[in-house]
Amino acid sequence: MRSWTLTRRTHTNLRTLFDLSILSFILIALSIARVSGDDYPWTYDNDLFGGPDFWGLLDKKWQMCSKGKMQSPINIDPASLLYDPNLSAIHVDKSIVASELINTGQMPRVRIINTIRWPSINISGGPLNPYRYRMQRMDIHYPRGTLSGSEHSIDSKKFPMEIQMIAFNSDLYRNFSSAVVSPHGIAALSILVQIGKKTNEELLKMTIATSSIPFKRKRVELMELRPWKMLPHKADYVTYEGSMTSPGCHETVTWVIVNHPIFITKEDLESWAALQQTITQEAEPRYIAPNFRTLQDPHGRIIRTNIRHRFKENDTECKKRLNDTWYRSNPNRTEAYTRSKAIHRRRHSIKHHSVVDLF
């Protein structure tokens, strides 16, 4: 009798544990299923179940996050850049846009509003030819408590901030939703941000606006934003084929990373770090930052550049600057090619204007 009682009790305990596990699974499924739109149950915190290492498990539509072989972001190795003479300059329309800054809970995002008075702007040229890509939004990635907040890294070095201008192929697709899951669908123009004495004028507009969006779902209108003014004056860049850096990690993105940073003051960078994930203030604040995906395996992908390097044998001035040049395209580390002595002198004076080559 005693043996039978113990067996029955053990069976009851196992049944209870089984029921609890089933209940937990159902609750997780329901919590995921009831979320729609931009309110995804995901985070950039790898210590949580919704972190980047688990994105591929949260939704079957996000399996590319764990199974894809062309994922982003990646480290840009200057030694592996391949010069492509057919890469033309990138063009961004010089138009003022209607936009709003939104706290999504995962990141601050600038949404470009397409209106009759303020039409959206196009990105074209370079690896995007022959298509035009309509700018949809700008995603901002940054740190908290450190100066390493960018998604991409250059020669294993991260930057304090990365601004990603995301655009969809308007020649082939009617909207962003169709383009993001389709070939040649998305262009991502990445601008790396370094600490400096003065914040870029357009970035400053966005920084000031962060005080109006401290919590998730808060939004504020941005007045007369000029996205092209966040681009460095030089046309040098690298490009590769990759993916979105948030779920579902669709491998439909042509990435263009410009070769020069823009700048933000340390004080302004800290303003971004104050943004929170929650809808209201909590006793223990949960901050958005750091909000970058971990680096992905390049899997042998070709990284092309439009930077061509030449120097003369007797050009001691150029040779002296080789140690200050961050980039290299095959086969040797050299100074960039210039067409005249005037341009040559101007290139060497750039150093005194806080313009830095990244590759």
Query: Who contacts 291 (Cβ-Cβ below 8 Å, separation ≥6)?
Result: 44, 106, 107, 141, 142, 149
Please count the residues of the chain.
Answer: 359
| Pairing mode, strands 304-305 and 82-83 | parallel
CA distances for 346 relative to 333, 334, 341, angstroms? 20, 17, 8
- Scanning the chain, the segments in alpha helix (DSSP H) are 2-33, 55-58, 64-67, 176-179, 201-209, 266-272, 316-321, 341-349
Is 337 annotated as catalytic?
no
Q: At 207, is the secondary structure helix, strand, or coil?
A: helix
CA dihedral 278, 283, 286, 287 (to 10 degrees): 90
Please, are residues 254 and 150 in contact by the beta-carbon 8 Å criterion? no
Q: At 270, is the secondary structure helix, strand, or coil?
A: helix
Nearest to 249 by CA among 188, 317, 329, 158: 188
Please, are residues 161 and 169 in contact by the beta-carbon 8 Å criterion? no
β-partners of residue 192 are 162
| Pairing mode, strands 108-113 and 133-141 | antiparallel
Active-site hit among 40, 133, 173, 327 = 173
Catalytic residues: 173
